[in-house]
Amino acid sequence: MSNPSILILCTGNSCRSHLAEGVLRHAAGDLFDVYSAGSKPAGYVHPKALEVMREIGIDISGHTSKSLNEFLDREIDTVITVCGNADQACPMFPGQVNRYHWGFDDPAHAQGTDEEILAVFRQVRDQIKLVFEAYATGYREKK
Q: Which residues are catalytic?
A: 10, 83, 90
Query: How far apart, in whole angstroms, are the C-alpha atoms of residue 122 and residue 110?
Result: 11
Contacts of 70 (CB under 8 A, 6+ apart): 37
119 membership: H or E segment, kind and range: helix 114-142
